[in-house]
Amino acid sequence: MSFGLFSSSFKHCLLSRPDVNPSNLKLDNGSRVAVIGGGPAGSFFSYFLLDMAQRVNIDVQVDIYEPRDFSHTAPQGCNMCGGIISESLVQLLAVEGINLPATVVQRGIDSYMLHMSVGSVRIGTPLHEKRIAAVHRGAGPRDIKEVKWKSLDGYLQWLASDKGAHLVCDRVDHFDWKDGRPQIKTRGGLVQEYDLLAVAVGVNSGLLKIFRDSVSGYEPPRVTKTYICEYHLGQETIEKYMGSSMHVFLLSIPRLEFAAIIPKGDYVTVCLLGDDIDGPLIKSFLESPEVRRCFPPDLPLDPPSCHCLPHINVTGATQPFADRIVFIGDSGVTRLYKDGIGAAYRTAKAAASTAIFQGISAENFRQYYWPACKRIAIDNRIGKIIFAYTGVMQKLRHDLRGILRMVSKEQMKDGCNPRMSMALWDLFTGSAPYREILLRMLNPVFVGRFIWNVVVGSLPIKRGRRP
């Protein structure tokens, strides 16, 4: 045996010992990495880990464990998500060399229709250059008539596989430690040990409870219930009633934080976000006149065959890392109500960069991965303040009229600074941090214009003149 081979083997043996200094934990040639979850977070992590490893000439093996087949329709290929990709993420992916193909993007969204009890207004793409993408995470809804588009999750999984990741179509249902290394067992009976484990399962998975009991310091995110359903309308009907706009609702319905209708191919996706969505809340929303006007008058809005009540994060996880293990995407932290795919991209890339360039100990993840999670978590706290404020405004017709008037004026004037329009656009799409949105809303010019529009919008309307 050569000295170099002996040295490498000796180092590998040392790292397998649980009493070795954790700061020495590194990925090396031949290291094995498991990724539990083949959604965006897991696929992004695998893609970036392999890409970065190739840059520094490290040969690592990556296995992605994902039981679902995203080429199937719901529920087999469903990932329970609204399926909106913000324009900021589209641009970031383009910089990475990842361009979403036309076969994945069902519709490009170029505007928002904001519906309130005092009226509706269209918000065009700020600066006429931003667009967002509407996608299906699987092959489509349960009752899809014809598969015309491909799955976003399937496409990202293909990118990871093209980099060299190996897809294991089996469900992980057990986790343990063996000689200081993570060991997993699948439902099919496969038992494997790894040098690093990346957990990228959603908060609807029962697997997180196992990690809470087995990984010191880890506590899964707190969640709330939401509602997602798919209505089949056909492209002609969608074009007639909704066009290429995402329809957003600020309605005074208790416990409803945010609601949207997203056109996608032959379907529209209805998403309700708030505090434990239930049947009465769903019924109140669907029967509101603002929602009924968005659909054909003869269309029954009973729950369609494809609907679900998944959980979503309202907080991040406590300490989403340990020696040789890291939690990414929803199992770690995600954006509050918005841009979950963007948060998956950011946390996955930060975790992969830490693992390749810094190490895989808890201390490495604390120094180099945790700051990215904390930025999202802190920003989410600001988001809660903004949503609390918008919740109050939804009950104040004077404030709603002020918003309506301010946005309407901005949309009619080319070249002006559309302060309210851009704030609402970024709030709805998740294209900007909540902190940035709040700072814009606190700008004296913004506040002055808003107050002026509230006052003017509250004045009696004179006959023959526009409000």
Q: In the predicted model, is pLDDT for residue 4 greater than 60?
A: no
Q: Give the residue-averaged pLDDT of 121-148.
A: 72
Q: Is a pLDDT exceeding 60 seen at residue 169?
A: yes
Residues 174 and 184 sit within 8 Å (Cβ to Cβ):
yes
In the chain, CATH 3.30.9 sits at 104-135+224-312
- Average pLDDT on 88-97 reads 87
- Burial (CB < 10 A; 0-12, 13-18, 19+), residue 305, is exposed
Q: Cα–Cα–Cα angle for 118, 82, 236, nearest 5°?
A: 70
Q: Is the pLDDT of residue 161 over 90?
A: yes
pLDDT at 108 (0 to 100): 76
Given this model, what pLDDT does residue 23 score? 58
CB 27 within 8 A of CB 34: no
Q: Provide the percentage of residues in the chain whose pLDDT is more than 90.
A: 54
pLDDT of residue 423: 92
Q: What is the pLDDT of residue 86?
A: 80
- Distance in angstroms (rounded) separating the CA atoms of residues 113 and 29: 53
Q: What is the mean pLDDT of residues 135-161?
A: 80
- pLDDT value of residue 9: 41
Please state, rounded to an integer, the average pLDDT across all residues of the chain: 86
Rounded (5°) CA angle 381-385-391: 135
Q: What is the CATH number of domain 3-71+153-221+313-380?
A: 3.50.50.60
Burial class (CB in 10 A: 0-12, 13-18, 19+), 43: buried
Query: Residue 19: its pLDDT value, please?
Result: 44
Instruction: State the DSSP H helix or E strand holding residue 209, giving kind and residue range, or none if neither.
Output: helix 207-214
DSSP string covering 371-429 = HHHHHHHHHHHHHHHHHHHHHHHTT-HHHHHHHHHHHHHHHH-TTS--HHHHHHHHHHH
Q: What is the DSSP string of 146-173?
A: S--S--HHHHHHHHHHHHT-EEE-S-EE
Residue with the bigger pLDDT between 464 and 76: it is 76
pLDDT tens figures, 430-440: 889 999 999 99
* Cα separation of the two ends of the chain: 87
Q: Residue 307: what are its φ and ψ, rounded to 5°?
A: -150, 155
- Look at phi and psi of residue 430 and say left if phi exceeds 0, alpha if psi is from -120 to 50, else beta: left
* Range(s) of the chain covered by CATH 3.50.50.60: 3-71+153-221+313-380
Query: Which range among 13-27, 246-260, 316-330, 385-399 has the greatest average pLDDT?
Result: 316-330
Q: Residue 119 pLDDT more than 50?
A: yes
Tell me the pLDDT tens digit for each residue of 40-88: 999 999 999 999 999 999 999 999 999 988 777 666 666 666 678 887 8
pLDDT at 127 over 60: no
Give the residue-averaged pLDDT of 387-410: 90
**175-234 pLDDT per residue, tens:** 999 999 999 999 999 999 999 999 999 898 888 989 998 999 999 999 988 899 888 888
Cβ–Cβ under 8 Å, residues 46 and 62: yes
Predicted local confidence at residue 206, as pLDDT: 84
Given a cut of 80, is residue 461 above it in pLDDT? no
Query: Is pLDDT at 467 greater than 50 in this prediction?
Result: no
Coil, strand, or helix at residue 467? coil
Domain 104-135+224-312 has CATH 3.30.9: yes
For residue 6, pLDDT beyond 50: no
Beta pairing, strands 105-109 & 227-232? unpaired
pLDDT category of residue 139 using cuts at 50, 70 and 90: low
